[in-house]
């Protein structure tokens, strides 16, 4: 079985996990799951999404998700439990089960790395945020030690995990992208730079757009995400947003 916690917007991590689930023929367990467009993926839903005010959700949503996963026990029947996603490491598997974790990254904000939320101006909320981040840092380091096998999705991810969590990576399995299908050797009518991915802080797209303020070259951004509206308003004329682009 596979335990998965996707991001707020479906992206490469979802495709990565769903392709692996089809490859190994395992169901994917998700907290309050959205349905997959791929009928070949067997999604199993558990838990109920907490209903909390917007301010509280921004501060504690990840913490509450971790609690949901931490106190949910997987079925005993599978001999292998695969987890993927930041909060799924907190799931406690049974002693007889072999645990494999597919690592796309770790909670960067807990270690003071960008992107991270700004602290609240309210002193009490600020202390709660700081306490939460410290707990997240300790949780990241403690939970990864319970894994029998750790698989990273890139050499960069493997290096980051080893540096910040002290984790030895057993294997690197790259995302299942058929790159040959996207190769095009036709000459382009014009030169340009391409950003292809989720338009979110963790992807560094804000910094890329800012850098092109000082350049004459054209930048094309193909993808959607929470930063798109903000960046479209701030970008210069040499930056073009295409939105979501399918295969």
Per residue in 191-244, pLDDT (tens digit) is 899 998 888 887 889 999 999 999 999 999 998 888 899 999 989 999 999 988
> The sheet that has 149-152: what strands, in order across it?
43-46, 28-31, 2-4, 80-84, 98-103, 149-152, 171-172
In sequence order, the 6+-apart residues with CB closer than 8 A to the CB of 112 are none
Whole-number Cα distances in Å, 121 to 57, 125, 126: 16, 8, 7
| CB neighbour burial string for 184-223, b if at least 16 within 10 angstroms, e if fewer | eeeeeeeeeeebebbbbbebebbeebeebeeeeeebebeb
Rounded-to-integer distance, Cα 211 and Cα 192, Å: 14
Query: pLDDT value at position 211?
Result: 94
54 pLDDT band, cuts 50/70/90, is very low
Rounded-to-integer distance, Cα 153 and Cα 174, Å: 5
Query: pLDDT value at position 138?
Result: 87
Query: pLDDT value at position 123?
Result: 83
pLDDT in tens, 183-204: 777 777 778 999 988 888 878 8
In 3D space, the residue among 12, 11, 21 whose CA is nearest the CA of residue 44 turns out to be: 21
Please state the rounded mean pLDDT for residues 114-143. 79
Query: pLDDT value at position 37?
Result: 56
More confident residue, 53 or 78: 78
Please state the rounded mean pLDDT for residues 12-26. 86
Q: Is the pLDDT of residue 60 over 60?
A: no
Cα torsion angle, 182, 183, 188, 194, sign: positive
φ/ψ of residue 180, rounded to 5:
-65, -25
In 3D space, the residue among 229, 191, 195, 189 whose CA is nearest the CA of residue 211 turns out to be: 195
Query: pLDDT value at position 201?
Result: 83
- 8 A C-beta contact, residue 189 and residue 161: no
Write down the residue that tokens 């799924």 correspond to.
88
Bridge partners, residue 193, by sequence = 219
For the record, the structure tokens of 47 come out as 């838990």
Please state the rounded mean pLDDT for residues 59-82. 81
Q: DSSP letter at 169?
A: P
**Whole-number mean pLDDT of the chain?**
83
Query: pLDDT value at position 94?
Result: 95
Query: pLDDT value at position 8?
Result: 56
Rounded-to-integer distance, Cα 194 and Cα 245, Å: 13
């Amino acid at each position: 079985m596979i335990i998965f916690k996707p991001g707020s917007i479906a992206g490469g991590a979802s495709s990565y996990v769903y392709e692996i689930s089809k490859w190994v023929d395992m169901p994917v367990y998700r907290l309050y799951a959205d349905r997959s467009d791929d009928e070949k993926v067997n999604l199993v839903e558990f838990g109920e999404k907490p209903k909390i005010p917007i301010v509280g959700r921004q501060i504690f949503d990840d913490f509450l998700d971790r609690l949901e996963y931490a106190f949910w026990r997987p079925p005993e029947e599978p001999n292998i439990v695969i987890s993927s996603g930041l909060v799924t490491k907190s799931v406690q598997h049974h002693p007889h089960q072999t645990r494999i974790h597919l690592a796309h990254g770790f909670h960067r904000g807990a270690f003071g790395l960008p992107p991270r939320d700004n602290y609240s101006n309210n002193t009490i909320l600020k202390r709660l945020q700081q306490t939460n981040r410290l707990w997240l840092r300790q949780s990241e380091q403690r939970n990864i030690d319970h894994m029998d096998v750790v698989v990273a999705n890139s050499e960069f991810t493997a290096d980051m995990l080893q540096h910040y969590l002290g984790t030895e990576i057993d294997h690197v399995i790259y995302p299942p992208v058929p790159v040959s299908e996207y190769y095009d050797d036709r000459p382009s009518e014009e030169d340009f730079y391409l950003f292809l991915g989720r338009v979110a802080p963790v992807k560094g797209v804000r910094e890329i757009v800012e850098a092109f303020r000082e350049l004459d070259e054209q930048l094309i951004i193909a993808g959607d995400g929470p930063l798109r509206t903000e960046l479209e308003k701030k970008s210069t004329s040499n930056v073009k947003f295409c939105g979501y682009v399918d295969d």
